[in-house]
């Protein structure tokens, strides 16, 4: 590299000189306020604005974005609080249900406690229990016991194969099978009973299409299904 080439590379552009000077003298505009007030910056639309106006515009935009971010965080926090309250209420309902079922002295009272408590605690229009097990002699003929065949599995394959509760609107065939055509059930919760082998379905239905929806959490509902399955066993094998 010759001296001329090396010397040209060391020469700084006017922009670099200005930038470095301002970086080394951050109080320049404080000591020279008239310079700041009279400086103009070309706008994207062609008009020229002062540096102060441009800074104010940037600050307004940043403040607006900050407010939007804070509002979004506020909405998210409210949503989390609502979910926490809903889970707390659901947990208390499950506790009251279990207390009622434990008090059952026979299968008849067990089923009655189950239906009554779910109706009252969950404010449902219909509660249906379908069991895929062979009942004992004392329970023969009860409507809860049905045959588990290919048709049933086809209707509720997702529910029975994953063992996870489902919330929301059912298909017409599912609604007819569980609640009958005259029920006018618009949304429902389906809870599988028994694992890993399906032993039944507990269904709660509502005429309100928004009562049960797909965004609802299902962990506590699954837990409730496991407890009901466990408490139900003694009455099925007497």
Q: Is residue 182 part of a domain?
A: yes
Write the CATH number for 109.
3.30.450.40
Cα(173)–Cα(40) distance, integer angstroms: 72
Select the more confidently predicted residue: 181 or 77: 77
Strand order of the sheet with strand 187-193? 126-131, 200-206, 187-193, 166-168
94 C-beta neighbours (distance < 10 Å), count: 19
Q: Is residue 177 part of a domain?
A: yes
pLDDT in tens, 45-54: 555 556 667 6
Give the count of domains, the chain: 1
Q: Is residue 111 part of a domain?
A: yes
Q: Is residue 165 part of a domain?
A: yes
Q: Is residue 223 part of a domain?
A: yes
pLDDT in tens, 143-166: 898 888 888 889 999 998 888 999
| Residue 127 belongs to domain spanning | 105-236
Q: Is residue 95 part of a domain?
A: no
Q: Is residue 115 part of a domain?
A: yes
Select the more confidently predicted residue: 41 or 238: 41
CA 88 to chain centre: 15
pLDDT in tens, 189-210: 999 998 778 889 999 999 999 9
pTM over 0.75: no
Q: Is residue 190 part of a domain?
A: yes
- pLDDT beyond 90 at 72: no
């Amino acid at each position: 590299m010759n001296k001329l080439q090396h010397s040209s590379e060391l020469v700084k552009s006017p922009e670099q000189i200005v930038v470095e000077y301002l970086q080394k003298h951050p109080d320049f505009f404080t000591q020279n306020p008239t310079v700041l007030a009279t400086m103009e910056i070309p706008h994207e639309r062609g008009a020229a604005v002062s540096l102060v106006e441009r800074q104010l515009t940037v600050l307004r935009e940043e403040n607006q974005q900050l407010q939007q971010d804070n509002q979004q965080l506020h909405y998210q926090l409210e949503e989390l609080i609502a979910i926490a309250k809903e889970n707390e209420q659901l947990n208390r309902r499950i506790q009251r249900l279990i207390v009622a079922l434990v008090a059952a002295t026979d299968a008849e009272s067990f089923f009655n406690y189950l239906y009554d408590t779910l109706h009252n605690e969950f404010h449902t229009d219909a509660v249906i229990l379908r069991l895929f097990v062979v009942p004992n002699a004392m329970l023969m003929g009860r409507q809860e016991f049905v045959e588990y065949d290919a048709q049933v599995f086809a209707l509720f394959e997702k529910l029975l194969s994953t063992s996870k509760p489902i919330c929301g609107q059912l298909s017409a065939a599912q609604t007819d099978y569980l609640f009958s055509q005259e029920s006018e059930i618009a949304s429902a919760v389906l809870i599988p009973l028994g694992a890993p082998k399906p032993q039944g379905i507990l269904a709660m239905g509502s005429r309100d299409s928004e009562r049960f929806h797909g965004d609802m959490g299902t962990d506590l509902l699954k837990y409730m299904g496991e407890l009901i399955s466990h408490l139900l066993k003694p009455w099925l094998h007497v």
